[in-house]
Structure 1
């Protein structure tokens, strides 16, 4: 597979997984009537930006996630104070634009001093213009213009905090849920492509050939039937194959396969494993597979979801118990490296890996860690129990600290990833 294809597939895996997560937040926020200001993939400086309807869609520099920015979650508008001079543009005597600067350059506007303004509830502006006091209705989708930036106002009923606990919880949990849906669909697609091992296999096949290993320098093909090694018939005995190769480091072996029923012989010199000294040629074996039925596909996908979920939580448990060191953790660079290696194995294996990544992202986001979806759901749960929300300033501070800590951890593991690349480790 060409390097350009591998890079493209690696980028697409991350793009699809993050996009489906953020789309879950976006869709259910819009259904609740919340104004979504931005749908972003990545963090940091903008690489691409386009506005459609009320939402700006952006692609940002750091591909380590994404976000959906909803009205009312963060300070987002410059506050207009009584006594401030502004200019407004009117359509049918309703304010559609409020200009806060460069007033002399604005055309077709009414300029005056603000006596009072309410852009959240009453949507009213009282303006003193040329000594005359005028009261205007403000369009619910009016734009506030300052420093060449247009920002749509958000009446209280379009803000995140104005919605019911259920509506807000649904908008938050929808992100991880969409990752679970995607993971299930990808596992199902994997089984449709790969099938499952036959119940009573009669042969052993070459399942994968590792790039850079001795086998990759021959004309061996994935799917070749492994017939014999040094004249010893392999049949379906995977352990026998491994044993014969392991006992021959730096010693050429005769590797016989069947391709389309025709015998082909190769001379391969196993490479010693740096740790054990055992011979390795860089192949993995696989048993013949059979197609998977429609109903069986869903059963297998469900079982894969369950098995991988247990495995992920076992990893979290080991991390909490201190059985992992920081050097054992991988960040975006390591994940991209592994993804590119799996992409080399073909679209089937990449589909399974993408399913695992999507499942992991969904589970990780539901953890009760500040700044993640799980933490926000806990705050909503407390609000439901107490009958009133937690102080927004305190909640924002908790999420800010959590986000800062996550970014520090991300920097640390990324630094480790880069060191591994420099040292040539995998």
Structure 2
């Protein structure tokens, strides 16, 4: 059960911050965001705040921000339709009642003759009882359709995704993956504060209870000036000397509390691959200062980003096979193993997943953020957008292939773990 909770929390946090990036930059650009969703499929929980409905959905395979104008509007008023109109204090149409008009006796019923709910925000028609007079009604930019008792906000063109400058649209799409990198960075900085950021000083960090360092009398915080007369200026130099001398007595000259001591230490031998190396049971020194933690967060984020990109490169060149990929089932299993090793490792795993999610979403694959960004960059170069219908077909095909890939990867995970 703890693994289930950990998986849900990690997954929820990664998707939440990713979609929050999209939401924040879209709202900043003035785009109407109809829904902010965690998961896909049927709604489990939903509430509305301001213009946006926030939902949690059943299938934990992602999330989305539904921006007005990305997809065709599901409701359209055409000439000949009979609708009811409710007005605000400025005598502008505030709500357009599409059905069940008898529930709104105060509504004025008209037969629509002309309508523009994107640019000029008006509709005109013949009001019941006054069919000889064509009337024009201005529509508020914050008006709603009302269908089956549900209110759907009307999106003027200036509130739609496509109406914004290409740079604003690129920012709204790129903000999702960017938030994943920021989340990973924040987690790793926090780990730097909690456990300390590794530093390269020739100083002993935490000692293990069964190591030769503790047995010989060395203590955490001892500064190592030399080993067997060889001066040591960094932790890396200390490690190299110890590795090269398994089961060999070494004289450590250390400084402790202003006093210089000579201590004999015999590194234990350990086999790593085909090599036998020396170990003394001491961790590298750490620093919990803000500057060191900040540097640690940046360095680790950069290092993991580079390693993941190298991995994707090997996948493209065939050095990795698709069987090595993990889907939700595989990630759940790894999360189970990591959770058993403690909270610190679980946080580090969450940071790694967040970086991975950011990178995957930036790949130039249709239906992912990277694919959408590719179309926007092409638009910026051409000076005009690609036909939306053609772009939609490409994204649909890309999404279908991604779902197929997910099924294959999930099946491989199930076979690997249970069959």
- Residue 289 of structure 1 deviates from its aligned partner by 4.4
- Structure 2 CA distance for aligned equivalents of residues 328 and 357 of structure 1: 16
After superposition, the Cα gap between the structure-2 partners of 1:323 and 1:377, relative to the gap in structure 1 and judged at 3 Å, is same
SS of residue paired to 1:60: strand
Alignment correspondent of 2:99:
101
Do structure 1's residue 86 and structure 2's residue 70 form an aligned pair?
no
Q: TM-score, normalised by structure 2?
A: 0.79
Identify the match of residue 116 of structure 1 among 109, 114, 119: 114
- Residue 286 of structure 1 deviates from its aligned partner by 6.7
Identify the match of residue 376 of structure 2 among 371, 377, 380: 380
After superposition, the Cα gap between the structure-2 partners of 1:202 and 1:176, relative to the gap in structure 1 and judged at 3 Å, is closer
Alignment correspondent of 2:139:
138
What's the Cα RMSD here?
Answer: 2.5
Pairing of 1:5-154 with structure 2 (within 5 A): 6-92=3-89, 93-129=91-127, 130=129, 131=131, 132-154=133-155
SS of residue paired to 1:63: strand
- Structure 2 CA distance for aligned equivalents of residues 33 and 11 of structure 1: 32
Alignment correspondent of 1:269:
none
- Residue 32 of structure 1 deviates from its aligned partner by 0.6
- Residue 420 of structure 1 deviates from its aligned partner by 2.8
Do structure 1's residue 177 and structure 2's residue 178 form an aligned pair?
yes
1:11-49 CA-to-partner distances (Å, cap 9, x unmatched) read: 211111111111111001001110000101111111111
Checking the alignment, whether the CA contact within 8 Å between 2:180 and 2:358 is kept in structure 1 is yes
- Residue 51 of structure 1 deviates from its aligned partner by 0.8
- Residue 324 of structure 1 deviates from its aligned partner by 2.5
Checking the alignment, whether the CA contact within 8 Å between 1:77 and 1:151 is kept in structure 2 is no
1:211-262 CA-to-partner distances (Å, cap 9, x unmatched) read: xxxxxxxxxxxxxx1248xxx99x9979999xxxxxxxxxxxxxxxxxxxxx
- Structure 2 CA distance for aligned equivalents of residues 345 and 422 of structure 1: 22
Identify the match of residue 397 of structure 2 among 394, 401, 417: 401
SS of residue paired to 1:176: helix
- Structure 2 CA distance for aligned equivalents of residues 51 and 202 of structure 1: 51
Pairing of 1:143-222 with structure 2 (within 5 A): 143-195=144-196, 196=198, 199-201=202-204, 205=208
Checking the alignment, whether the CA contact within 8 Å between 2:185 and 2:301 is kept in structure 1 is yes
Q: TM-score, normalised by structure 1?
A: 0.78
1:334-381 CA-to-partner distances (Å, cap 9, x unmatched) read: 112212321222221112111111111111111111111111111111
Alignment correspondent of 2:268:
none
- Residue 96 of structure 1 deviates from its aligned partner by 1.1
- Residue 164 of structure 1 deviates from its aligned partner by 0.4
- Residue 203 of structure 1 deviates from its aligned partner by 7.5
Bigger drift between 408-417 and 64-73 goes to 408-417
- Structure 2 CA distance for aligned equivalents of residues 155 and 202 of structure 1: 62
Checking the alignment, whether the CA contact within 8 Å between 2:287 and 2:293 is kept in structure 1 is no
Structure 1 gaps, min length 5: 206-224, 242-275, 277-284
- Structure 2 CA distance for aligned equivalents of residues 38 and 347 of structure 1: 33
Checking the alignment, whether the CA contact within 8 Å between 1:203 and 1:226 is kept in structure 2 is no
After superposition, the Cα gap between the structure-2 partners of 1:240 and 1:353, relative to the gap in structure 1 and judged at 3 Å, is farther
Alignment correspondent of 1:246:
none
Checking the alignment, whether the CA contact within 8 Å between 1:39 and 1:68 is kept in structure 2 is yes
Pairing of 1:244-323 with structure 2 (within 5 A): 287=283, 289-323=285-319
- Structure 2 CA distance for aligned equivalents of residues 142 and 178 of structure 1: 32
Structure 2 gaps, min length 5: 219-238, 247-272, 274-280
Bigger drift between 108-117 and 83-92 goes to 83-92
1:146-168 CA-to-partner distances (Å, cap 9, x unmatched) read: 23432110001000000001111
Checking the alignment, whether the CA contact within 8 Å between 1:160 and 1:168 is kept in structure 2 is yes
SS of residue paired to 2:210: strand
